[in-house]
Amino acid sequence: MLNKTETTSASPRIHGEALALKRAQDELKSLKNRLNLSDEAMANAVGISLPRMVVMLYGEPEKIPGKIASKIKVLQALSKAREPREEDVVTAPAPRKRNKPELRPDQQELLSLQKELGLTHDDLARIAGIPRSRMMTYVYGRTRSIPEEVLVAIRKVRDEGHDNEQPFLTEAMRELEGSLPDFIARWQDKLGIDRNDHQTIAQAMGISKSTLLRWLDGNSGTRPSFVRKCLVSLREFEAARQAAAR
């Protein structure tokens, strides 16, 4: 039995051994993680059973037998060999900033007009009287040039002031946001024209009855510029009726 003096002198030694065993266990766990091995693969690597490896990794720290320790040293050497040397580490170059492609003058003008007038791509297509898909090729520069007539049509919208007494082209575009039959029906109601009186509303719009019927059937469309002419005619028809009623 140890006396008081022997116990005091032995405690630091016992404590130091426990720390060494715990450190060895932690290094074993770290080695397994660095090699990206499962518990079973680690057991096979050092030639022991899986239950024995589990105890060594997660049980009470204990001294590792010399034969197993030598195999662990081999694994440690392998792990160290896999670590990249400082001179081998290549810093990836910073990604190059891609410069935005320069816009052609005609494309730049188209986008500037769109922004200035607050138009959508659909609006641009309606003004130019072309399909939306075609307008998109102009917007994104997928063609060599933009036809001059397309730019001229949009310039007219810009140049036509809101103080003009005649209906502004964007007003005609708003009328087309629904459908031609809706546009016709709104004005029939506004002017008090019977929905079946096709002759009178056609006359008020300044178009032929056959054109009106095609529009009502949904078999034909038209440009905002033509609807603008219809609006001018409708306003004149409305003013004439009001004057006659006085």
Q: Where are the domains of the chain?
A: 7-79, 103-159, 164-246
Strands (E), 157-200: none
Q: What is the pLDDT of residues 169-207, one digit of tens each?
A: 777 777 777 788 999 999 999 999 999 999 999 999 999
How many C-beta atoms lie closer than 10 Å to residue 42's C-beta? Answer: 23
**C-alpha to C-alpha distance for 35 and 80, rounded to whole angstroms:** 10
Question: What's the CATH architecture for 103-159?
Answer: Orthogonal Bundle (1.10)
pTM for this model (two decimals): 0.41
Q: Do 7-79 and 103-159 share a fold?
A: yes
Instruction: Please report, as a single letter, which amino acid is at residue 123.
Output: D
Q: Tell me the C-alpha distance between 127 and 159, whole Å.
A: 14
Q: What is the pLDDT of residues 96-133, one digit of tens each?
A: 666 667 889 999 999 998 888 778 888 888 888 899 89
Give residue-wise pLDDT tens across range 142-171. 899 999 999 998 888 888 755 566 667 777
CATH number, domain 7-79: 1.10.260
Query: Token digits for 8?
Result: 């005091």
- Cα separation of 166 and 210, whole Å? 26
CA distance 164 to 209: 29
Residue with tokens 């006085």: 246
What pLDDT, on a 0 to 100 scale, did the predictor assign at position 98? 65
Q: Is the pLDDT of residue 209 over 80?
A: yes
Answer with the residue of higher pLDDT: 137 or 74: 137
Task: Collect all residues with Cβ–Cβ distance below 8 Å to 63 and sequence separation of at least 6.
Answer: 21, 24
Let me know: does 135 contact 119? Beta carbons within 8 Å: no
**CATH number belonging to the domain at 164-246, selected among 3.30.420, 3.60.21, 1.10.260, 2.60.120:** 1.10.260
pLDDT for 180 equals: 86
Residue 183 and residue 242 in contact, taking contact as beta carbons nearer than 8 Å: no
Structure token digits, residue 92: 């990836």
- Under a CB-based contact definition with an 8 Å cutoff, are residues 129 and 140 in contact? no
Q: What is the pLDDT of residues 50-105, one digit of tens each?
A: 878 888 887 888 888 888 888 888 777 777 766 655 554 556 566 666 666 788 99
pLDDT for 37: 81
pLDDT at 43 over 60: yes
pLDDT of residue 161: 59
Instruction: Say whether pLDDT at 24 is over 80.
Output: yes
More reliable by pLDDT, 167 or 40: 40
**Residue 5 token pair:** 């003096």
